[in-house]
């Protein structure tokens, strides 16, 4: 009887050890999952801390100079949807509206800047956005200087691109020139909309 009682008492101990075993395995699995969650979080924090190196749309800066070859400001050109964005920050102009155009030669020889040649016009069209036979690809909207002769404006031309190798590209190759005129462009008269003298010039490369 005593031997039978001892066997009967050991059986629950054996069963208890079997029940404890899966719990230990579950604990190990749980600790493994916790470790995995820490590892998956590590590369994420590392990636977030990496500074961006994207320079795909850095602006092309054009330095503008007057007839005395003094720097009077800049035009920042960058890709925009369907064209090129022009951001002008210029001073030293006469108050009022001024014509501004892209010319075909990357030359700015003072004082008259005639070295820049004619407007950029690969399609041989007439001048002016209001001309039925136009416009030139180099035609741009008038800019307006305030009472202090300053211009701070942004506009987009959809006629041109900064993608090199295209017919309407103003970037690469020998380059182009950006010219500001003394008078406003009337939008229709060849060759430059009666916009008067060339008072500022910058080379686009």
Catalytically active residues are 101, 103, 119, 127, 136, 139, 181, 198
Three-state DSSP class for residue 89: strand
DSSP-assigned states of every residue in 161-183: B--TTSTTB-SSTT-EEEEEESS
Three-state DSSP class for residue 63: strand
| 140 token code pair | 């741009």
| 61 token code pair | 């800066």
- Using only C-alpha atoms, what is the Rg of the chain? 36
What is the Cα–Cα distance from 54 to 193, expressed in whole angstroms?
Answer: 40
CB 178 within 8 A of CB 171: no
């Amino acid at each position: 009887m005593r031997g039978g009682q001892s066997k009967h008492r050991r059986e629950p101990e054996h069963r208890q050890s079997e029940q404890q075993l899966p719990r230990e395995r579950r604990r190990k699995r749980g600790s493994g999952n916790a470790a995995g969650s820490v590892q998956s979080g590590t590369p994420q924090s590392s990636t977030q801390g990496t500074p961006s190196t994207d320079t795909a749309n850095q602006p092309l800066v054009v330095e503008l100079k007057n007839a005395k070859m003094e720097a009077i400001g800049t035009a920042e050109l960058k890709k925009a949807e369907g064209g090129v964005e022009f951001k002008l920050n210029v001073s030293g102009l006469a108050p009022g509206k001024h014509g501004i155009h892209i010319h075909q030669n990357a030359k700015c020889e003072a004082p008259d800047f005639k070295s820049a040649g004619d407007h950029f016009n690969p399609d041989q069209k007439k001048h002016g956005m209001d001309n039925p036979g136009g416009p030139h690809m180099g035609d741009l909207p008038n800019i307006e200087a305030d009472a202090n002769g300053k211009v701070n404006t942004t506009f987009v031309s959809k006629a041109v691109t900064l993608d090199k190798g295209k017919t309407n590209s103003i970037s690469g190759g020998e380059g182009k020139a950006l010219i500001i005129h003394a008078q406003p462009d009337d939008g229709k008269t060849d060759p430059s909309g009666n916009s008067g003298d060339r008072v500022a010039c910058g080379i686009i490369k």
